[in-house]
Amino acid sequence: MRKLLTLYLLLGAILAAQAQQTQKPVLHGKNWMAITGKPLAATAGAMTFQKGGNAVDAACAMLAATCTMWDVLSWGGETQALLYNPKTKKVIAINAMGVAPTGATPEFFKSKGYNFPPEYGPLAATTPGTPGGLMHMLANYGTLSLEEVLAPAIELAAGYPIEAQTANSIERGKERIKQWPYSKKVFLTHLGEEREAPVAGDIFVQQDLLQTLTKLVEAERQALKKGKSRKEAIMAAYDRFYKGDIAKEFVRGSKEQGGLITMKDLANWKPLEEEPLVVNYKGIDVYKLQQWTQGPSLLQALNILENFDLKSMGYNSSRYIHTVYQSMSLAFADRDFYYGDPYVAPQEPMKGLLSKDYARQRAALIQYERNDAKIGPGDPYPFEGKKNPYLKLLKDRGFEFDTIRRNFAPTHDLRNGSSMVEYQDRLWRGTTTIEAADKEGWVVSITPSGGWLPACIAGNTGIGMSQRMQSFVLDEQLNPFNVVAPGKRPRVTLTPSMALKEGKPYLSFAVQGGDTQEQNLLQFFLNVVEFSMNVQQAAEAANFNTNQLWLSLGGTKTEDRQPKPGHILLHDSTPEEVREQLKQMGYTLDFDDRTSGPINAIYFDWKHNSLWGGSSNHGEDYGIGW
């Protein structure tokens, strides 16, 4: 046993040493840091800082730019954000997730032969959240005008040299794009030619979107001329989007193509400010959005992992990988059954799920010898002093409760379903991330998404509609808290992160990648906290992904979404000894040279009063500091 432990420690030391070499340098800044998914969008953040804006202004400018550049999202999507306010020393959660429209019921989708809402087209759309979220953040916590913050995005809409990643994505999705007349008009700039999408370097012009953004600025200008305050003027633009002529054209274009969104749906929706959820891990307070996201699953995993000496196991040793994999599988089993919109009944048992005592009970389930293919949701209700009202539902679903281990285990095999290639693609569905911080202490972490290519554009607005309806379920047996209903938010994968240490910002971090987001953010955090990596080393470090979860994105058939117990994605550099040990534990191994979506992060160096930025070596993510 001692020899095995020595081997683990030696292996961990070797892998940690390898992780010191990065393909991109760590960023350093004294005054500000701006990081996001596209170089031009990071430049928009830098331009906004140079105008005198704070981190909120810069984050909003980057959000507008990434939406305009179709960085796996559009203006019709959703925004999820955490803000640190240095004046109050509090973390604020922004919920700018759209809701299901009028008529979006399980019966409606089942009548069309769906087991889940569709992943593309007008019936996949929730109400737009990003414009409202941006304007809410800017009005309440920024310093600049909407016109100043939207200036880079407006210039981009007027025409920018499109990059290969987006241009090729349009070409790959062109057959679907041709189904929607307004999308075809915008995206297929070489219609009838062999390549119908733009080519890299083409000046990509979006005239309809340019007009929409210009209308927002016009509304602000008119309000200011009438003597309105800065905040009131920004909210006048908000009203024009959600209640005025922009809303009317959006609804008209959506309905023409078979969508459900109404004027009342837009007028009734609004962004919300929330108390974030938080747990303490070894003296560090980690903040996530509430259970309408998958964010609490990272908090649950940290609570479980706090019961183990991870550092002694060694970075990415087989025992470390196994322990973290099991912890994530336990957390995701709870996510898949208990998470949903907190503003719609029934109420999720979050107090129990985030209880340290519950985590200890879950940690005791981990078997050191083998992967547990029968991990199911636990019972958090006793940790709230309540009785679980869903015992019959779980039994009907095919789960048996182990009274000794306190776990609901499936009685049926979940290993079938879609091919591994299809599953991995759905697991990895992307978005973008935005990280900003300034010397005054403002910090912003955003994971916006929705309206990605191939997107259905709503009328002559230039705005791609969200596809987030697909994250709902139609059957309460899968998750009684996440059944689609008009006015309800789907439980999404999108999940910015923030950590405070001794009451000060410590880390701000986020990643794209569907159901892998919390997995990769958890490992990034542990890389920094347990293995002393800097933000760039931690962003580039080899991660691993569990496939032992229900997919939140993908096809409309049940088999498209089913878990694949024991399937694990490992980095190509994983040593042969680790591979063999994991196989002996019952894992099915897949390999890639990319095992994480692009992680973007900021570390706060209070010893030197400076900012450290990390931006993944995968994709086009880019950061600028000053």
Tally of domains in the chain: 1
Q: Mind listing the pLDDT tens digit for each residue in 159-205?
A: 999 999 999 999 999 999 999 999 999 999 999 999 999 999 999 99
306: enclosing H helix or E strand: none
Residue 558 domain-assigned (yes or no): no
How high is the pLDDT of residue 419?
53
534 part of a folded domain: no
Instruction: List the structure tokens of 600.
Output: 């973007």
Query: Does a structural domain hold residue 290?
Result: no
H or E element in which residue 357 lies = helix 356-363
Q: Is the Cα torsion angle 339, 342, 343, 344 positive or negative in sign?
A: positive
CB of 373 closer than 8 Å to CB of 588: no
Task: Assess whether pLDDT exceeds 50 at residue 358.
Answer: yes
CA distance 366 to 363: 6
Q: Which are the contacts of 115, defined by CB distance < 8 A and separation ≥ 6?
A: 474, 475, 556, 557, 558
Unique residue bearing structure tokens 């003597």:
227
pLDDT at 5 over 60: no
Which residues form the domain of 195? 33-274+430-506
At residue 547's C-alpha, the angle toward residues 576 and 530, to 5°, is 65
Mean pLDDT of the chain, nearest integer: 93
At 225-237, the pLDDT tens digits run 999 999 999 999 9
Judge whether 420 lies within some domain: no
What per-residue confidence (pLDDT) applies to 20? 63
Using the predicted structure, report yes or no on whether residue 412 has a pLDDT greater than 70: no
Q: How many CA atoms lie within 13 A of 152 on its CB side?
A: 26
pLDDT for 435 = 98
Distances in Å between the Cα of 414 and the Cα atoms of 366, 562, 565 are: 19, 6, 7
Contact of 275 with 93, CB cutoff 8 Å = yes
Cα–Cα distance for residue pair 251/264, rounded to 1 Å: 10
> Among residues of the chain, what percentage have pLDDT more than 70?
94
Residue 225 lies in a domain: yes
Q: Residues 276-305: pLDDT tens digits? A: 999 999 999 999 999 999 999 999 999 999
Burial of 554 (0-12, 13-18, 19+ CB in 10 A): buried
Q: What is the pLDDT of residue 413?
A: 58
Assess whether pLDDT exceeds 90 at residue 560: no
Rounded CA-CA distance 544/590 in Å is: 10
Given a cut of 80, whether residue 10 has pLDDT beyond it is: no
Q: Is residue 305 part of a domain?
A: no
Q: What is the mean pLDDT of residues 435-440?
A: 98
Write down the pLDDT at residue 313: 97
Over residues 126-153, mean pLDDT:
98
- Under a CB-based contact definition with an 8 Å cutoff, are residues 432 and 72 in contact? yes
CB 73 within 8 A of CB 439: no
Q: Please choose, from the candidates 550, 546, 551, the residue with its C-alpha nearest in 3D space to the C-alpha of residue 587.
A: 546
The tens digit of pLDDT for each residue in 28-79 reads 999 999 999 999 999 999 999 999 999 999 999 999 999 999 999 999 999 9
pLDDT for 150 equals: 98
Q: Domain for residue 38, yes or no?
A: yes
Q: Can you give the pLDDT at residue 428? A: 46
Q: At what angle do helices 318-338 and 2-18 cross, to 10 degrees?
A: 80
Q: What is the pLDDT of residue 18?
A: 44
Q: How far is the CA of 131 from the CAs of 61, 102, 211, in angstroms?
A: 12, 20, 15
Question: Regarding predicted confidence, which is higher, 598 or 527?
Answer: 527
Residue 105 scores a pLDDT above 90:
yes
Q: Is residue 583 part of a domain?
A: no
